[in-house]
Amino acid sequence: MQLTGDNLTCQRGGRTVFSGLNFSLSGGEAMMVTGRNGAGKSSLLRMIAGLICISAGRLDLSGGEPDATLAGQAHYLGHQDALKPSLSVSENLRFWADFLGNSDATLEPALAAVDLAPLADLPAAYLSAGQRRRLSIARLIAAKRPLWLLDEPTSALDVQSQDRLAGLMRDHLAGGGMIMAATHGPIGLERARELKVSPE
């Protein structure tokens, strides 16, 4: 399985954010997208997730499921948690597991992986920022998708949760998954390659 970006260009509001970006990522590999503020790290991830139009260039995922689109095989963890406060922790997770992936997945392992199992019946409105973040990470476990697109995944997480997340990412890579993470600092993956995004 391989994700390749060929001469990618992103234009937003008439401004060129980045251009001529080339990269390739194979199964089991992680890539850290770095660059200063406004360089287009988030835009690159959103582009791969199919949330921003590609201005020029090509994106290609080979070796995945033939019928599914690139976005249909990717998880996107953005700045927002995509949780509904009036639904319980397990209802929120159940919905995203059903909607994004296979319907028969059990939630317990995913909730246990982010240490939220005792709160399963609590409305999401009661969660702290870090707990909300962990719940949205749980959806990466509950629905299986090969490509993880993580935008500042460690924000709002304490040290212990960051370690847990690193462990989950290592498990994902060991299972042949791919990770692209936009980040300013280390996220606990030793063998990650670095992709520097810079304007022009």
Partner 1 sequence: MSAFTSLLLRDMRIAVRVGGGALMGALFFLIVVTMMPFAIGPDLGLLARIGPAILWLGALLASLLALDRLFANDHDDGSLDLLMMGSMPLELAVAAKAIAHWLTTCLPLVVITPVLGLMLNVEMHAMGWVSLTLLAGTPALTFIGLIGAALSVTLRRGGLLLAVLVLPLTVPVLIFGVAAANAAIVGPAPFGPPFTILCALSLASFVLGPVAAAAALRHGLE
Partner 2 sequence: MPIIDLANPTRFLSIVNRVLPWLAAATVLVFAFGLARIMNAPDDYQQGATVKIMYLHVPAAWLSMMCWGVMTVAALGTLVWRHPLSDVAGKAAAPIGAAFTFICLITGSLWGRPTWGTYWVWDARLTSMLVLFLLYLGVLALYWTAEDPGRGSRAAAILALVGAINIPIIKFSVEYWNTLHQPASLFRRGGSAIDPSILIPLLVMAGGFTLLFFTLHFAAMRNEILRRRVRSMRLIQAQELAEART
Q: Does the protein bind partner 1 through residue 141 (CB under 8 A)?
A: no
How far is it, in rounded angstroms, from Cα 133 to Cα 153?
Answer: 9
Q: Does the protein bind partner 1 through residue 176 (CB under 8 A)?
A: no
Exactly one of 16, 34, 51, 57 binds partner 1 (CB under 8 A); that residue is 51
Q: Does the protein bind partner 1 through residue 81 (CB under 8 A)?
A: yes
Q: What angle do CA 165, 170, 171 make, to 5 degrees?
A: 95
- For residue 62, what are the β-bridge partners? 2
Exactly one of 5, 35, 78, 146 binds partner 1 (CB under 8 A); that residue is 78
Q: Does the protein bind partner 1 through residue 137 (CB under 8 A)?
A: no
Residue 96 binds: one of partner 1, partner 2, none (C-beta under 5 to 8 A by kind): partner 1
Contact 150, 118 (CB under 8 A): no
By CB under 8 A, name the binding residues for partner 1: 12, 46, 49-53, 68, 71-72, 74, 76, 78-87, 91, 94-96, 98-101, 103
